Amino acid sequence: MKRFTFFTMILIILTTGVFSLAAAETYPPEGWVTDINQAMKIAQEEEKLILVNFTGSDWCGWCMKLKDEVFTKSAWQEFAKENMVMLFLDFPSGITLSENQQVHNGTLAQVLGVRGYPTLIVLESDLTPRLQTGYTGMGPSEYAAHVANDINITPDSAAAVGAELNRVVKLLPKL
């Protein structure tokens, strides 16, 4: 019985290590950045919008559906490569983020009024928000059109939030 328990424990440790290693290799997902300053710089240089994805990547069912149904599809990836800088702000339960990343993500969630996951916010390159959305059930092409063309944030509130976001970004810890 002791041998069985010992080998079972070893198997669990090895298996967990392999899965953790695999997860670490793909975190954050390919094509995403994790620093708003980097996203803003790229967006300004390449004249792109910023898609901010507030997610619970390893526990949020709707976040996983959005990833599987939209973000992993070639139609979305082609659109995003041409038009978006994708900013991945994660609130995982089983992945340890650095303290600076946690402060970065939490501060941006607070400033942008995030109340649930997934929350996606489209920002202009100067950090002025134009759209807040989430999981919609749309396919990748429809979702691309949605984030590129729809605007649901009023100009007055967009200006105020954009100004506050610009102020706060300067205070964020370096990643």
Whether 117 is in a domain gets the answer: yes
Local confidence pLDDT in tens for the 175 residues of the chain: 555 555 444 444 444 444 444 444 588 999 999 999 999 999 999 999 999 999 999 999 999 999 999 999 999 999 999 999 999 999 999 999 999 999 999 999 999 999 999 999 999 999 999 999 999 999 999 999 999 999 999 999 999 999 999 999 999 998 9
Q: Kindly state whether residue 17 falls inside one of the protein's structural domains.
A: yes
Are 97 and 59 in the same domain? yes
| Per-residue pLDDT, 5 | 52
State the residue range of the domain holding 24. Answer: 1-28
Give this prediction's pTM. 0.85
Q: Do 97 and 44 reside in the same domain of the chain? A: yes
Residue 75: inside a domain: yes
Q: Is residue 174 part of a domain?
A: no
Residue 10 lies in a domain: yes
Is residue 131 within 8 A of residue 153, CB to CB? The reply is yes
- Report if residue 13 sits inside a domain: yes
Residues 71 and 9 in one domain: no
* Judgement on whether residues 16 and 93 belong to the same structural domain of the protein: no
User: Which has the closest alpha carbon to 126: 175, 90, 79, 167?
Assistant: 167
Q: Are residues 76 and 108 in the same domain?
A: yes
Residues 47 and 131 in one domain: yes
Helices within 67-174 (DSSP H only):
74-83, 99-111, 140-149, 155-169
Q: Are residues 18 and 80 in the same domain?
A: no
Residue 51: beta bridge partners? 86, 122
Nearest CA-CA partner of 131 in 60, 36, 49? 49
Tokens standing for 106? Answer: 């939490």
State whether 143 and 95 are in the same domain: yes
- DSSP code at position 174: P
Q: How many domains does the chain have?
A: 2
Q: Are residues 82 and 116 in the same domain?
A: yes
In a domain, 175, yes or no: no
Residues 15 and 97 in one domain: no
Residue 6's pLDDT is 52
pLDDT of residue 1: 56
